[in-house]
């Protein structure tokens, strides 16, 4: 096992350990760094260290299971999941709450990695991949990939409030802003807006609105980069991303797309179907919270009253 030497020395041959493990589909780089720090990974019989580099000659063990350092690129599967209310984005919950991983198709040696997270009260588009390197690239702050959310708010919203959220608001963890805000209809005290931003900090959309004294009553992610939720994918259902969309995501991340010839086994009630499909019923204790609300009307970008950037250019 080769490790980093002094700052002035040339890097040791091989690849970073967490990159090799991510490529094998074991998780995201961040998650695998935590595994290494926790002592779950061994290289040539010894506990691995952060910064280690490995090559084809090295013997890797993760939780006692053998992993090939020179393994071929795993199948690059990508799923789009329409997350319902009440599910959390962790694999195991001490409280026994349902998770977004519960209904995904089973894999062999690889595992599903979520591209980002949505909190328990947020619904909508969530991507999963078996390629940890792709997940890392898409989630990294430097990617500046745009996310779009449909937001239902309660309370009066003024022009000054909209302008403030585009210009920038100081939150507890630093400044934040929306790229643009589009009004999408509503009645009474409830109104819908579509907002976009290029980062995924914890509860950032909610906190920006709350900073204006407005309560968010519904929040749904409807777009991630170039990926939209097809209308037939009901809540609690998933689809495998078409090859064209998968390739576009890899291009967006600056990675090479290698389509797999082995299809996923997607049989089951959680795979979305184009006709006659029904949404998955939410947990019983959350049926009241999941009651459908009036959906926002479709708007064009030109209807946006506020957009960041000079010239208020359309995308």
What is the 8-class DSSP label of residue 291?
-
299: β partners: none
**Residue 222 confidence class, pLDDT cut points 50, 70, 90:** very high
Asked whether the predicted pLDDT for residue 155 surpasses 90, the reply is: no
Residue 286 confidence (pLDDT): 41
Q: For 16-45, what is the mean pLDDT?
A: 82
pLDDT in tens, 69-105: 655 456 688 999 999 999 999 888 888 899 999 989 8
Vertex 39, ends 33 and 45: CA angle to 5°?
Answer: 115
- CA 29 vs. chain centroid, Å, equals 14
pLDDT tens-digit readout, 58-78: 888 888 888 766 554 566 889
pLDDT digits (tens, 9 = 90+) for 24-34: 767 777 788 88
Q: Give the chain's mean pLDDT.
A: 81
**pTM for this prediction:** 0.72
Active-site residue identified among 70, 119, 167, 265: 119
Confidence grade of residue 6 (pLDDT, cut at 50, 70, 90):
very low
* Distance from C-alpha of 208 to C-alpha of 221, rounded to nearest angstrom: 16
Q: Assess whether 119 carries a catalytic annotation.
A: yes
For the chain, the structural domain boundaries read 15-68, 74-308
The structure tokens 């290494």 sit at: 36
Q: Which CATH number fits domain 15-68: 3.90.1150.220, 3.40.50.10680, 3.10.290.10, 3.30.2010.20?
A: 3.10.290.10
Helix axes of 132-139 and 29-37: crossing angle, nearest 10 degrees: 110
User: Which fold is adopted by the domain 74-308?
Assistant: Pseudouridine synthase (3.30.2350)
Domains 15-68 and 74-308 in one fold: no
Q: What is the pLDDT of residues 158-180, one digit of tens each?
A: 999 999 999 999 999 899 999 99
């Amino acid at each position: 096992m080769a490790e980093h030497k002094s700052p002035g020395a040339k890097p040791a041959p091989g690849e970073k350990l967490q990159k090799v493990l991510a490529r094998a589909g074991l998780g995201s780089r961040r998650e695998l760094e935590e595994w290494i720090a926790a002592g779950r990974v061994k290289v040539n019989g010894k506990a691995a260290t952060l910064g280690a580099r490995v090559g084809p000659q090295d013997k890797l063990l993760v939780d006692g299971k053998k992993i090939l350092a020179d393994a071929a690129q795993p199948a690059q599967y990508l799923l789009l999941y329409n997350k319902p209310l009440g599910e959390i984005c962790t694999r195991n919950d001490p409280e026994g709450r349902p998770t977004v991983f519960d209904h995904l198709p089973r894999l062999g040696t690889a595992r599903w990695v979520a591209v980002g997270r949505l909190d328990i009260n947020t619904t909508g588009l969530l991507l999963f991949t078996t390629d940890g390197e792709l997940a890392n690239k898409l989630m990294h702050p430097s990617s500046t990939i745009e996310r779009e959310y449909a937001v239902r708010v309660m309370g009066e919203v003024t022009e000054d409030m909209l302008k403030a959220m585009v210009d920038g608001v100081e939150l507890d963890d630093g400044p934040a802003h929306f790229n643009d805000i589009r009004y999408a209809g509503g009645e009474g005290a409830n109104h819908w807006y579509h907002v976009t931003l290029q980062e995924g900090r914890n509860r950032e959309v909610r906190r920006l609105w709350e900073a204006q004294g407005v309560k968010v009553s519904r929040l749904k992610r409807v777009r991630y980069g170039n990926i939209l939720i097809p209308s037939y994918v009901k809540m609690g259902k998933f689809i495998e991303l078409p090859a064209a969309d998968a390739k576009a995501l890899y291009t967006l991340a600056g990675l090479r797309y290698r389509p797999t010839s082995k299809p996923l086994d997607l049989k089951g009630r959680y795979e979305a179907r184009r006709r006659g499909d029904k949404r998955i019923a939410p947990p019983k204790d959350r049926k009241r919270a999941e009651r459908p609300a009036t959906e926002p009307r479709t708007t064009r970008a030109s209807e946006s009253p506020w957009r960041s950037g000079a010239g208020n250019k359309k995308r």
